[in-house]
Structure formats: C-alpha cells, structure tokens
Structure 1
C-alpha cells in the first residue's frame, strides 16, 4: 500500500532507539524526510549509522528550553513539520509511597509535557496548511492499571490530551491520535532487561498475560504508527489504538 508519505517532513522524539528508531526506519522506507531527537549523542550516531539519511538533534527533552531548541532546529533542517511523533518517555520509581515527588514531576515532564509542548509548537503551521498529523506513543497502561504509577499517570494524561487536542484541531484538517503499545521486546527496553534477569518469571508472564503468546515487536508498533500518520487513516482522529496482542483487559 502506498501511504503517500514521500517527501513528508517528520519529527520523532526519542528516535534513537527502540520504538522511536523503528518508526524512523518505516518513515525512511516511505521516503519521508526525518529528524530524530534524543539525549544520547552516541545513540543518535548509532541510529544514523544503521538507518542513514536523518537529521539528528541532541537534547534533554525533560527541559522546556531544550524542547524549544529542538523544535527550532527541526524546522530549520526540514523547512516545516508535517508529522509529529511524540515518542520520548521513560519509567522510574516504585510504589507510590516510596517514590519521591521529583520522580512524578520528571515523568510528567518527559512523557507528557514534552508531547504538549511539541504539539503546541507545530499547530500554527499545520492549521495554516489545513493538514498535519500528530501521533502520541502512549501505553496500554495509560488506559488501565499496571506498571509504575509515575509512568501510568503521565501516559493517562497523554491519552486524555490526545482526545482534547483532536477535537480542537479537526476543523482545521489536523489529526491527533495515540498508539498504545503493550509489552514490546527490544534490546534497549525494560522487558529485555527483565527477561535476562528472570527468564522463567517473564516467560510465565507472557504465557498468562498476553493472549498472542509472545512479546510484540518494534516493527509492529512502527507499522501501525506510520499508517495512522498517513492520509490512509484520514477519518481517524482522537483515537487511542491498542497494539498489544490482546494484552489489555479493557473492552474498548
């Protein structure tokens, strides 16, 4: 299927590894112009060596000023942004009682407010063109309980923000959606670390909790994300789409 993404200008946050890098690879395969932002210089360079043809922006996206700089550098490099992928995120802390308030604040900054700030930045140009797509990479644990509270709280806020922004921007031709991955296995992810630490426990988790009987892959998230960003999904906005092999427990 031709997704019509050739020449589209794409900014991906957290694009140097894992799901973000997988999404970048899919956009490049569609001949889009891609800029990726991430904190690690080494990670960005490795992604460039593996994929090639991207604009690299090193930044700590927990910081408001760094997010402003990233947006400006992306626009300077690409000319404009047609598609924004808010993917950067992270998980920290333990039980709510034991987790310091600073960890909640950091999770909100990285997982949620980064998406808000980048979305607000791209909106004026998208509305003027009456075209644009914003995809927020959330989580099934933003839709139901599970995982660390810092992460879940921030992802739940992201999903709520997705719908609110989608309703505001639909009259202007701008679509906003969320892709909610389940448990995804990749070398730099938490599930790989847990699998190496306790394979028996994690394999039992997969057997009991994921009806498909395996972890998902980065490529499976990337395929859905790129489709949702394309005009082939032109009537989809305000949606939060689970991509989880049946893992989530909700009926919707």
Structure 2
C-alpha cells in the first residue's frame, strides 16, 4: 500500500536498532527521508550500512541541550519535520524499594521527557504547515501493570501525554498517537537475551501469556507505526493502540 509518505521528513529517536531501526526501514521503503538518532555511534554506523540513504546523528537524549542540538541539526538537514517518532527508551532498576531515585529520574528522562521535549520542539513548525504527525512508542506495560516500575511509570506518563497533546494539537492539523507493543523479539532486545539464557522458561511464558503463541516482530510494529503516521489514519488522534498478539490483559 502506498501510504502517501513519499518525501516526508521523519525524525526517529532510538533508531539504530530493534523497533526503531525497523520503523526507519519502513519509512524509507515508503519513500520518506529519515533521520535516526541514537547514543551509540557504533550502532548508527551499522544502521547506515543496512539502511539506504538514512541520515544519522549521535546524541544522549537524556540531556536537554543534546535534544535541542538534534532538532537544530534536523532542521538544517531537512528544513522541517513532518513526522516525529519518539521511540528511544530503556528499562532499568528492579523492585521499587531497591531502585534508587536516580534510576527513576533517568528512566523518566529517557523514556518520557525526551518525548515531551521533542514534541514541543516540532510543534511550531508543524503548526505553521498546518499538518504533522507524532507517534510515541509506549508499551502495553504503560497501559497496565507489568515490567519494571521505572519503565511502567514512564510509559504510562507517555500515554497520558499523548492524549493531552493530541487534544491540543488536532485543531492545527497535527495528530498525536501512541503505539503500545507487547513482547517483541529481535537480536538486540531483552527478550532475545532472556530466550538465550533460559529458553524453556521463555517459551513457556510465550505459550501461557501471548494468545498468538509467539513473539511479535519488529516489522509488525513498524507497519502499524507508518500507517498511524500517514494520512490513511487521518481520523485517529489521541489513541494508544496495542500491537501485542493479544498479550495485554485489558478489555480496551
């Protein structure tokens, strides 16, 4: 399907591996111009070899000054941003009592504040054009309990922010939505590490907790994200869409 994304200017955070890289590949296949940002220069170099014509930029997205530098560079490269994908994220800590306040703050900075800040940075340009799309990559564990508290809390905040911004921005032609993946298997992810360490336990988890009976793929997330960012999803605003093979326990 032609999603009408040809020549769109797309900024993707955390785009050097896993879901982020898959999203970048999907947009490039649709003819979009893509800039990916990540902390690892090695990862970005590998992505450059794999993704034709991708633009890359190294930055620590927990840092406000670095985020501003990234956006300035994106403007210099593209002249504007049509689509923002807030994908960067990571899990840290453990049980709440054993997790330091610094770890909670780090989780919020990476998973949540980076998304808020980049959204605020792109809004003026999108408002001037009268159109734009922001897709936040959250998690089913932002919609219900599960996972580490630091990650769960940050993703829940992201989903709440998505709806709040969507209601403000839609009048200016800007749509804001979130996609909530379930357990996704890819070589760089935590699920692959867990599978390698204890295949019997993880395979049992899949059979008991994922009705589809398998892990999801990066491509299955990327396909939904590109659709949500396109005009084919023009009447979707403020949504949090599970993409999880039925893993979520929620009725909504």
Residue equivalent to 1:250: 250
CA RMSD of aligned residues (A): 0.4
Partner of residue 4, structure 2 = 4
Structure 1 unaligned residues grouped into runs of 5+: none
- Report the equivalent of 1:190: 190
Q: 1-side partners of 2:207 and 2:54: how far apart?
A: 38
Q: Deviations over 1:84-103 (max 9, x none)?
A: 00000000110000001100
Q: Distance in 2 between matches of 1:71 and 1:57?
A: 10
Question: Deviations along 1:61-84, whole A, 9 cap, x unmatched?
Answer: 011111111111111111100000
List gaps (5 residues or longer) in structure 2.
none
- Identify the residue that residue 97 of structure 2 maps to in structure 1: 97
Distance 1:109 1:234 in 2: 30
Is 1:144–2:144 an aligned residue pair? yes
Aligned residue in 2 for 1:31: 31
Q: How many residues are paired up?
A: 252
The correspondence of residues 43-54 of structure 1 with structure 2, limited to 5 A, is 43-54=43-54
- Shift, 1:149, TM fit: 0.2
Paired with 1:224 and 1:136, the residues of 2 have a C-alpha distance of 12
> 1:11-61 CA deviation, whole Å, 9 max, x = no partner?
000000000000000000001000000000010010010112011110010
Moved over 3 A (4+): none
Counterpart of 1:111 in structure 2 is: 111
* Residue 165 of structure 2: aligned partner: 165
C-alpha distance in 1, partners of 2:102/2:195? 28
Hey, what does 2:56 align to over in structure 1?
Answer: 56
